[in-house]
Amino acid sequence: MRRSQLHRCITPWSVTSENQTTSFDYSRVVAQFKSQQILQQDRQELLDRIETVSKKSDQQHQQSFLKHFLRRGIIFSHRDFGDFLNDQEKSRPAYLYTGRGPSASSMHIGHLLPFYLCSSLQQTFDIPLVIQVTDDEKFLFRDINLDKLDKMTTENIKDIIACGFDQDKTFIFRNTQYFGEMYMTILQIQRCFSTNAVQKTFGFSGTDCVGKLSFAATQAAPCFASSFPKVLPFADRSNARCLIPCAIDQDPFFVLTRNNCCGPLKKSKPSLLHTTFLPGLKGPGVKMSSSDKDLSNVILLTDDEAAVKKKMRSAFSGGRATLKELQEKGADLEVDTAYQYLRYFLLDQQEFEEIGKEYGSGKISTGAVKDRAAEVVNSVLKTFREKRSAVTDETVKSFCEKRMLK
């Protein structure tokens, strides 16, 4: 595949690999996006540095998704994360920013990952977090009716809250309701973005509506603390550092922001941490998507235990055609859905390594690995659902109302 083709495979609105059954080549993604790759040999050093800067010991990090994602290469690249750490070291103001475009009323299990990561970053560095809910984006990019959108958005916000954030330090806002407060910042950004730059970055054409063009500035605005005059608690909002953990498909928004407005606006460039995509059940080259009509590719947060087990049983596998062949060659772990789900969700490093060794050498069966993956996913979902059922309208209010964070 030529480089220009790869670019079209990953955009904020669609992600496909050249082939459903081969995994993404993330080294090539890094080369294409020109981000900074986190190589396996550099992971430990980065983890040590995080520990020093955050003054949180390894033990306090036991269950940390930040550590887990770094170790397993799920966070695979970054932009200026070192600058964020330097700022943290000097106790300069910083905050986290992530977001979510509301989709189908139930989110899927892949959606939890960036939020778990944010929650872990928030715990590690003890800093505020803002979460942008882009109901406007869905309106502009998908043919969706307003009533349905409103319901979906409310349900999605509850799902997000159930991922576990510090209530005093987290602000969740819907663009259609919060826009006014950010508008001054949005205007400044709009003046920096040329039509050409936005079109080229996202591949828009002359027939796309103007709303899509201007949305780029709306997603960029929370990179700057000036968008939160009544929310972010900094004495000087002009230069607070923003760290954005996101899947790599969202990166183009922030490259545009870093390249076009930080200079003219004299603001610090946002730092980024990039995560890989959770593969769909049909194979490593298909990202899980809840707008997928075919629900056999996704695990929804509402799927019960039996459904998860059944879906995992029929998932794409890297096992071989016959038991004999599996015993001879071992499983292809790279493309095996069940093994990959364990890589994302099984925090116990020792068990994970054992399964890798045994399955990779054909000593255990595909069925056994699939069942273990279903168990692990079910326990993640169980914990999630317990937290989700405790989210009330009052809780939503406390996260979404405008107030100064700590």
Q: Which residues bind ligand TRP (CB under 6 A)?
A: 12, 97-101, 132, 134, 137, 219, 244, 246, 250
SS3 per residue for the chain: CCHHHHHHHEECCEEECCCCCCCCCHHHHHHHHCCEECCHHHHHHHHHHHHHHHCCCCHHHCCCHHHHHHHCCCEEEEECHHHHHHHHHCCCCEEEEEEECCCCCCCEHHHHHHHHHHHHHHHHHCCCEEEEECHHHHHHHCCCCHHHHHHHHHHHHHHHHCCCCCHHHEEEEEHHHHHHHHHHHHHHHHHHCCHHHHHHHHCCCCCCCHHHHHHHHHHHHHHCHHHCCCCCCCCCCCCCEEEEEEEHHHHHHHHHHHHHCHHHHCCCCCEEEEECCCEECCEEEEECCCCCCCHHHCCECCCCHHHHHHHHHCCCCCCCCCHHHHHHHCCCHHHCHHHHHHHHHCCCHHHHHHHHHHHHCCCCCHHHHHHHHHHHHHHHHHHHHHHHHCCCHHHHHHHHCCCCCC
Considering the complex, state which of residue 146 and residue 306 has its C-beta at the smaller distance from ligand TRP: 146
Contact 23, 335 (CB under 8 A): yes
Considering the complex, state which of residue 172 and residue 244 has its C-beta at the smaller distance from ligand TRP: 244
- Phi, psi at residue 296, to the nearest 5°? -75, -10
Considering the complex, state which of residue 98 and residue 170 has its C-beta at the smaller distance from ligand TRP: 98
Considering the complex, state which of residue 98 and residue 188 has its C-beta at the smaller distance from ligand TRP: 98
Shortest distance in whole angstroms from residue 218 CB to ligand TRP: 9
Which residue is at the shortest CB distance from ligand TRP? 99
Shortest distance in whole angstroms from residue 177 CB to ligand TRP: 15
Cβ contacts of 175 within 8 Å, gap of 6 or more: 132, 133, 134, 135, 136, 137, 218
The side-by-side arrangement of strands in the sheet containing 129-133 is 36-37, 75-79, 271-275, 241-247, 94-100, 129-133, 170-174
Shortest distance in whole angstroms from residue 246 CB to ligand TRP: 4
Shortest distance in whole angstroms from residue 294 CB to ligand TRP: 20
Considering the complex, state which of residue 112 and residue 315 has its C-beta at the smaller distance from ligand TRP: 112
Considering the complex, state which of residue 85 and residue 172 has its C-beta at the smaller distance from ligand TRP: 172
Shortest distance in whole angstroms from residue 14 CB to ligand TRP: 11
Considering the complex, state which of residue 132 and residue 366 has its C-beta at the smaller distance from ligand TRP: 132
Shortest distance in whole angstroms from residue 322 CB to ligand TRP: 42
Considering the complex, state which of residue 245 and residue 362 has its C-beta at the smaller distance from ligand TRP: 245
Shortest distance in whole angstroms from residue 19 CB to ligand TRP: 25
Shortest distance in whole angstroms from residue 87 CB to ligand TRP: 19
Considering the complex, state which of residue 88 and residue 132 has its C-beta at the smaller distance from ligand TRP: 132
Shortest distance in whole angstroms from residue 333 CB to ligand TRP: 29
